[in-house]
């Protein structure tokens, strides 16, 4: 199948490119340029891409030209401004990319008969996280607003739901995922990349909310859920799905930090006492719908997810072939 991924040079997009390629699909990508230190660059993902477009999704003309040339049958829309702190620094850019960029994808793809389905990837942070009870969010819980990033993704989610209800040309689905970990994430102000950068530089990382609980899961577990939802969409089914770990796999940030650094064999962290933007203390997802309808579940538990994540970064530090490291993880996952 001919598939196009927006944001294919990003952390999740590059792993999805490799996963789909290993599953026998023809994968094209549309994204901004990757940084030299990224999973896409270090693992040589470009060799697994049929057509590699460097296009800003806010540019509707360039976007349409790329899609018209590629003629994809399915689109995974992952391109986004995905950093909370960056959304405070650049709110206009964040809303423009995440909301108007999503609108451009929906509107442009509607003009292409080849496109049979689209999966819009939003976030677990779209939910109205104002209640005090520690309950996992389900797909029918209300969406809310908080920081510019979360609000922009909630807006993109609602936009996509509205578009889906009125679309006759394509079937549209929405995926909301928990906190994803894996090798090759070099995003700014993210836990694993921060820990790795400081461990490599032999300095102590600053951790903002060590007691915060999040739904951690391995990157390929999450992405395989997207693939299953793709098949569901191509069968003609719309809908929203959460993808997160089982209830026993929710852990505090400090457990992730301690476990990762122990497996990496170096590094330390201290509490960041600077004034930080507010974040929720507890965020978890109910993925029962995906388990029931898509027959999806995480193949790796928390500890194995940490081992695979730390193992990739260890290979990087040791100067090993990261294309082989990434391919091996995908092959092992598919064989599991």
Rg (CA), the chain: 19
pLDDT at 276: 62
Residue 310 half-sphere exposure toward CB, CA atoms < 13 A: 20
* CATH T-level assignment (fold) for domain 2-335: Rossmann fold (3.40.50)
Q: Is the pLDDT of residue 30 over 60?
A: yes
Apex CA 191: angle with CA 187 and CA 193, to 5°? 45
Instruction: Report the pLDDT averaged over residues 14-25.
Output: 98
Cβ atoms of residues 196 and 184 within 8 Å: no
Instruction: Report the pLDDT averaged over residues 40-62.
Output: 97
Cβ atoms of residues 329 and 15 within 8 Å: no
The three-state (H, E, C) secondary structure of 228-278, written as one string: HHHHHHHCCCCEEEEECCCHHHCEEHHHHHHHHHHHHCCCEEEECCCCCCC
Q: Is the pLDDT of residue 132 over 60?
A: no
Q: What is the pTM of this model?
A: 0.95
Q: Where are the domains of the chain?
A: 2-335
Q: Is the pLDDT of residue 148 over 60?
A: yes
Smallest CA-to-CA distance from 74 within 175, 170, 163, 174 is with 170
* Cross-strand partners of 27: 3
Instruction: Report the pLDDT averaged over residues 194-217.
Output: 92
pLDDT at 39: 97
Q: Is the pLDDT of residue 53 over 80?
A: yes
Q: What's the rounded Cα separation, in Å, for the pair 300 and 293?
A: 20
User: Does 250 or 101 have the greater pLDDT score?
Assistant: 101
pLDDT in tens, 55-67: 999 999 999 999 9
Average pLDDT, the chain: 93
pLDDT band, very low/low/confident/very high, at 131 (cuts 50, 70, 90): low
Query: Coil, strand or helix: which one is 3?
Result: strand
């Amino acid at each position: 199948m001919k598939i196009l991924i927006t944001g294919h040079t990003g952390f999740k997009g590059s792993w999805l490119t490799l996963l789909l390629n290993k599953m026998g699909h023809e994968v094209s990508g549309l994204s901004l340029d990757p940084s030299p230190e990224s999973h896409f660059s270090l693992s040589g993902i470009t060799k697994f891409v049929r057509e590699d477009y460097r296009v800003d999704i806010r540019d509707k003309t360039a976007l349409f030209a790329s899609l018209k040339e590629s003629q994809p049958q399915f689109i995974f829309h992952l391109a986004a401004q995905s950093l909370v702190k960056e959304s405070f620094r650049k709110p206009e850019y964040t809303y423009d990319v995440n909301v108007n960029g999503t609108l451009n994808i929906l509107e442009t793809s509607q003009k292409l008969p080849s496109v049979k389905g689209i999966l819009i990837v939003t976030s677990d942070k779209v939910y109205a996280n104002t209640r005090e009870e520690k309950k996992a969010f389900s797909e029918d819980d209300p969406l809310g607003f908080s920081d510019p990033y979360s609000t922009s993704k909630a807006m993109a989610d609602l936009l996509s739901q509205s578009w889906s209800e009125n679309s006759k040309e394509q079937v549209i689905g929405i995926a909301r995922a928990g906190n994803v970990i894996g090798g090759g994430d070099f995003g700014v102000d993210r836990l694993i990349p921060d820990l790795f950068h400081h461990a490599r530089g032999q300095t102590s990382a600053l951790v903002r909310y060590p007691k915060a609980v999040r739904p951690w899961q391995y990157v390929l577990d999450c992405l395989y859920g997207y693939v299953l939802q793709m098949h569901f969409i191509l069968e003609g089914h719309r809908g929203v799905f959460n993808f997160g770990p089982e209830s026993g796999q929710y852990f505090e940030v400090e457990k992730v930090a301690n476990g990762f650094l122990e497996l990496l064999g170096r590094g330390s962290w201290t509490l960041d006492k600077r004034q930080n933007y507010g974040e929720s203390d507890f965020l978890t997802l109910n993925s029962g719908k995906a388990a029931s309808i898509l027959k999806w579940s995480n193949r790796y538990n928390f500890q194995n997810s940490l081992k695979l994540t730390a193992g990739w970064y260890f290979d990087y530090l040791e100067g090993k072939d990261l294309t082989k490291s990434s391919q091996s993880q995908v092959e092992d996952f598919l064989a599991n």
